[in-house]
A and B are shown apart, each in its own frame.
Chain A
């Protein structure tokens, strides 16, 4: 992916010299943004870890969540990550129709994940859990759960919007493979964060 194909004022002056990482500035900026956002979740999860160490007891997750449903959510997100990767591959090969199909599948996967998350949340809220208190004895359990999964859910929602815009742009022929790859990077990052949350929250 040399920088030569980036046109317009931002093209590097010397027509494709070697930046330390041999990638265009858009991808480099997206990677640095991903590092920053990953550390935001690192801050949340470190705080969650600290509070779990500082509280004597922590509710047993098997009573609170049914693990099979959470596993289904994880499957959905991983599948949407795979369809996204296929869409990126297709955009690099120039197969426009395939890109639109797989972008659509990825958006569907994202919406399904959000729907399942909303369903899970409503179940917990019906059971009496809220930010401040919950029936399982440790108020911080509800607070950390809703905060972390809420932030992740918002990131998934923003991801779905980005994918919709990328698909629309591709539909009208203005889309570039570069744009699809950046949306892909963001989407895989959202899936990456869910791997961490899924393990540290539901299993450990």
Chain B
């Protein structure tokens, strides 16, 4: 992969980070802010994984296994326990 693509990706990541901080500053509705930030986070992760870690030039099988395992297991873990976090607050005893 040409050096140019690395440094173009670098620029993209910096601007994305600045955009996220700017979005964080403005008072957006909570859910929209959350969605925007998470989406930007995944895009940045996609850039780093795809370009810097050459996932894009690997076989599709490897790329799918890596991304689906990490994102799938993390999502299963978080969405499996998040309802109980809210329930712990709702039924809080003290």
A residues adjacent to B (C-beta < 8 A): 20-23, 28, 31, 34-35, 38-39, 42-43, 45-46, 49-56, 67, 71, 74-75, 78-79, 81-82, 84-86, 89, 184-185, 188-189, 191-192, 195-196, 198-200, 203-204
Q: Which of B37, B77, B92 has the most CB of A within 10 A?
A: B77
Which residues of the partner chain A approach B1 to less than 8 Å between Cβ atoms?
85, 89
Q: In angstroms, how far is the closest chain A Cβ from the Cβ of B78?
A: 4
What are some 8 contacts across the A-B interface (CB < 8 A)? A20-B62, A23-B59, A42-B74, A46-B77, A53-B86, A56-B92, A81-B52, A203-B37
The listed residue (A46, A67, A203) touching B81 by CB distance below 8 A is: A46
Q: Contact: B61 with A53, CB < 8 Å?
A: no
Q: Contact: A39 with B62, CB < 8 Å?
A: no
Q: In angstroms, how far is the closest chain A Cβ from the Cβ of B22?
A: 10
Q: Contact: B17 with A81, CB < 8 Å?
A: no
Which residues of the partner chain A approach B48 to less than 8 Å between Cβ atoms?
81, 188, 191-192, 195
Residue of B nearest to A61 (CB): B24
Tell me what chain B mostly uses at the interface: helix, strand, loop, or mixed. helix
Q: How far is the CA of A178 from the CA of B66 in the complex (A)?
A: 20
Which residues of the partner chain B approach A46 to less than 8 Å between Cβ atoms?
74, 77-78, 81
Q: Contact: B74 with A45, CB < 8 Å?
A: yes
Q: In angstroms, how far is the closest chain B Cβ from the Cβ of A121?
A: 21
Q: In angstroms, how far is the closest chain B Cβ from the Cβ of A48?
A: 10
- Contacts A39-B70, A82-B6, A192-B48; is A199 near B77 (CB within 8 Å)? no
Top 6 closest pairs, chain A to chain B, by CB: A53-B85, A42-B74, A82-B10, A21-B62, A54-B88, A50-B85
Q: In angstroms, how far is the closest chain A Cβ from the Cβ of B94?
A: 11
